[in-house]
Structure 1
Amino acid sequence: MKSLIDFTALMLIAFTLSSCNLTSAAGIGSQGQPIKTVGDKITSAVAHSVVNVDHSPWDKLLKKHVNDAGFVNYRGFKTEQDKLEAYLTYLSKIIPNEEWSVQELLAYYINLYNAATVELILQNHPIKSIKDINGAFTKNFIKIGDKKLSLNAIENGVLRKMNEPRIHFAINCASYSCPKLKNEAYTAAKINEQLDAATREFINSDLNEITPNNPKFSRIFSFYTSDFKVDGKKDLIGFINKYSNIKMNPKTRYTFKKYNWSLNEQ
């Protein structure tokens, strides 16, 4: 009887692992996109790249339809959806390669993620949450050349592999608890300063409750805990302390806040 129970348990574990692998693999393949890892420190620069991508059309749309708090006027965006689609078409025809600088790659994929997310919302508007869209994060709908990627693929298959944890505060999933959508496009010329500002703003916002002891963090830090390192070692408190106005006890216990998936609409 014991051997039968053990065998059954092993089968259940194997099934669970295979199911998890299938789930985690859904829509997160990089589709051969070039991936360059960020070193110890990245500097903003447009040099050393075979291309300088023009993100000004996206910048103009953001300045017009996103307020300083990061909330989006989707109805206003809808009136200029053709301009957004033209920008996405432009990005789809400029295919990234290994000769691009790491700065250009970061700006390209961050802007692509954010613009594609807004386009997805516009295609389904009015809605209360991006979670109401079937396959919002796993469906391959974002064109780059002759390939299609999902939002998960861009985030997990490309950006996270670039070893730059600040990307988590730059990409926006159209939800209240997400880091806010900045009303300016990311560019290679300002990427380091923009990522630093986005990280500092998010950590010190009301989406976290930073105290010296027993703080409550955004669940984003729960989703991606392994990404946040100091001197190459996982150190969530140490990472947050680099940007927080209030410094925490390095050994303090912490919890995570509930995530609000409500649409980030003005």
Structure 2
Amino acid sequence: MNLKRKLTSLLIILLCCLGHSQSIDNSELKDFLKKHVSNEGFIKYEKLVKNKESLNEIVVGLSKITPNNSWTKPETKAYWINVYNFNMLKLVSDYYPLKSIKYIQAPFNIEFININGQKVSLDDIENIMIEEMGDPRMYFALNNTSMSSPKLSREPYSAETLELQLESAAKNFINDSSKNYFSKTTNEAILSPIFKWHASDFEDLNSFINKYLEDKQITNDTNISYSSFDWTLSKELY
């Protein structure tokens, strides 16, 4: 399928699906995350692999629920974040052990995620479905299992708590000195490449960052550069 046809098809799934509202029970997702993600946001990969059957059941369950025009925007946002994060866990668990997601050939382009009978990739979800939602905070809720990635929340995303969750995700990521550096002595900032990759989604990058940044503000005179992305698998160092 060419890119134009694929984009059209995915947007139809996002915007035009008909059907009755489907209630989402996040209890299984919550239990799974509590068991496989540490308080610091690190994934327990060995335990994850041992429980692949439970993970697969969650992924299949998510694939049977499709956003439709009866859903609220928070419901749809939460759905796509959960689909991305749990399918990322599935992908890594299928190839583990590995030192980096990049050890998998073109991992973000593999069409293994079933949405309404159509196979899509992680890139499709991030750069089509989530981009279409118009909320750049969502990028800080996505975990790609790498050291430079936003941390994986131990709570699944839900419509009821979404606003607080997204605000927390953005604030935590921007103020994480391992992801972004803001000099206290010079007018310099070194940002995560996530801001560069999704530059068109931030109408006013300075204002967006300043909304969440603690202790310091950046200006139009701030010298902004971007760090390299560390794709090493995010795990606790013992």
Q: Same fold (TM over 0.5)?
A: yes
Q: Distance in 2 between matches of 1:150 and 1:191?
A: 24
**Distance in 2 of aligned mates of 1:27 and 1:164:** 24
TM alignment of 1:126-137, pairs within 5 A = 126-137=97-108
Q: Does 1:55 align with 2:26?
A: yes
Deviation of 1:50 after TM superposition, in Å, equals: 2.1
1:89 aligns with 2:63: no
Secondary structure of 2:181's counterpart equals coil
Question: 1:80–1:131: structure 2 CA closer, same or farther, 3 Å change rule?
Answer: same
Superimposed CA distance per residue, residues 97-118 of structure 1 (whole angstroms, 9 cap, x where no aligned partner): 1211111111111000000000
Matches within 5 A, 1:93-242: 93-206=64-177, 207-211=179-183, 213-229=187-203, 235-242=204-211
Q: CA separation in 2, counterparts of 1:26 and 1:255?
A: 33
Alignment map for 1:20-31 (pairs within 5 Å)? 25=3, 29=7, 31=10
Q: Is the 8 A contact 1:28 1:150 kept in 2?
A: no
RMSD over aligned CA atoms reads 2.0
Q: For structure 2, which runs of at least 5 residues remain unmatched after alignment? A: none
Once residues 101 and 78 of structure 1 are traced to their aligned partners in structure 2, the CA distance between those partners, rounded to angstroms, is: 34
Q: 2:37 aligns with which of 66, 72, 82?
A: 66
Task: Give the drift of 1:26.
Answer: 9.9
Higher-Rg structure is: 1
Identity of aligned residues (%): 36
Whole-angstrom distance in 2 between the partners of 1:223 and 1:27: 23
TM-score by length of 2: 0.89
Q: CA deviation at 1:130?
A: 0.7
Partners of 2:27 and 2:5 in 1: CA distance: 29
Are 2:221 and 1:257 aligned?
no
- Partner in structure 2 of residue 33 of structure 1: 13
Matches of 2:108 and 2:30 in 1, distance apart? 24
